[in-house]
Amino acid sequence: MNPFLINEPTVISFSGGRTSAYMLYRVLEANNGLPDESFVCFANTGKEEEATLQFVHDCETNWTCPISWLEFADVPGKFEIVNFESASRDGKPFDHLTTKRKYLPNPIARFCTSELKILSIDRFMKFKGYKEYETMVGIRADEPRRAAKMKDNKLVPLFHAGIAQQDVQSFWKAQPFDLGLAFRDGVTPLGNCDLCFLKGQKQLMSLIADKPERALWWAQQETKIQGTFRKDRPKYSDMMKSAKQQTDMFDKEGSVDCFCGD
């Protein structure tokens, strides 16, 4: 059976990256468009790069595919439906969450992923009248550990189709549009939240050195909550200072996978 065929209520979880966009393309191809009772959902945290938002918008316009833009909000229902023009660019959904919780997410308590993305999508589906539905996520064949962690109601068609990173990259090289973020050493460093605390220290330092103001929002959050995103690292304000001084205070620790995806 074609793993991209859809026959029941389904969410296509679109992270805004090349992999999940390729998955969406294959779904549209296999089903001759978006099937009934299917929804493409992009959950915006407000800390994505502008290029990510533009890419999501390019997908919905070039492929004539409706995409539901969702944001966590401090309102009844705990989510809002936005669009490319109105989507937050200043971290507002994330800020609403930390203000409400009064502490910061961390590698052990990654409630940013659950609240800003997973639960925002679930609340949207319940708002649409669906208590039960499948969720399709962009996990490739070269990510067997991530695939093994998926629950029964999670569909991983790229994994079952044997699609690897090189297949995804080859596809986008042949398209008339692409995500405007560099792909280096097997990853997209600025994918997902710009300075996500799950990214490796060396990677964060490089991103801050390239654009020190990226660290401002993260540093302000740590000041506001009087806490840190990680206890095993310097604060974002210290990383920003170090970047400006062009000193290397970090090791070569790798990044940690999270639900947000590629």
Residue 95, pLDDT score: 97
Same domain, 48 and 111: yes
Its pTM stands at: 0.91
Structural domain boundaries enclosing 33:
10-173
Q: Give the HSE-up count for residue 44: Cα atoms under 13 Å, Cβ half-sphere.
A: 30
Is 181 part of a structural domain of the chain?
Answer: no
Is 178 part of a structural domain of the chain?
Answer: no
Residue 259, pLDDT score: 52
Residue 243, pLDDT score: 83
Q: What is the rounded CA–CA span in Å between residue 159 and residue 181? A: 24
Same domain, 108 and 205: no
Same domain, 213 and 90: no
Q: What is the rounded CA–CA span in Å between residue 126 and residue 113? A: 19
Same domain, 112 and 240: no
Tokens of residue 237, six digits: 């304000």
Residue 255, pLDDT score: 54
Is 138 part of a structural domain of the chain?
Answer: yes
Q: What is the rounded CA–CA span in Å between residue 158 and residue 160? A: 6
Same domain, 160 and 232: no
Residue 151, pLDDT score: 80
Is 254 part of a structural domain of the chain?
Answer: no
Query: What is the side-by-side strand order in the sheet with 38-43?
Result: 79-82, 67-72, 38-43, 10-13, 134-136, 154-155
Same domain, 105 and 166: yes
Is 69 part of a structural domain of the chain?
Answer: yes
Q: Which residues of the chain have pLDDT under 50?
A: 247-253
Is 93 part of a structural domain of the chain?
Answer: yes
Same domain, 129 and 218: no
Number of domains in the chain: 2
With b for 16 or more beta-carbon neighbours within 10 A and e for fewer, the 72-107 pattern comes to: bbeeeeebbebebeebbeebbbbbbbbeeeeebbbe
Is 182 part of a structural domain of the chain?
Answer: no
Residue 258, pLDDT score: 58
Residue 97, pLDDT score: 97
Concatenate the DSSP letters of all residues of 47-105 into one string.
-S-HHHHHHHHHHHHHTT--EEEEEE-SSTTSEEEE-TTTS-SSSHHHHHHHHHHSS--
Closest CA to 72 of 108, 121, 13, 110: 121
Residue 250, pLDDT score: 43
Q: Angle CA(222)–CA(244)–CA(51) in degrees, nearest 5?
A: 70
Same domain, 99 and 144: yes
Same domain, 221 and 125: no
Run of H or E including 155: strand 154-155
Residue 122 makes CB contacts below 8 A (sequence gap 6+) with: none
Same domain, 169 and 239: no
Same domain, 137 and 25: yes
Run of H or E including 43: strand 38-43
Is 252 part of a structural domain of the chain?
Answer: no
Tokens of residue 253, six digits: 């620790």
For residue 183, give the 3-state DSSP assignment: coil
The predicted-structure confidence for 16-28, as pLDDT tens digits, reads as follows: 999 999 999 999 9
Residue 249, pLDDT score: 43
CATH of the domain at 91: 3.40.50.620
Residue 153, pLDDT score: 74
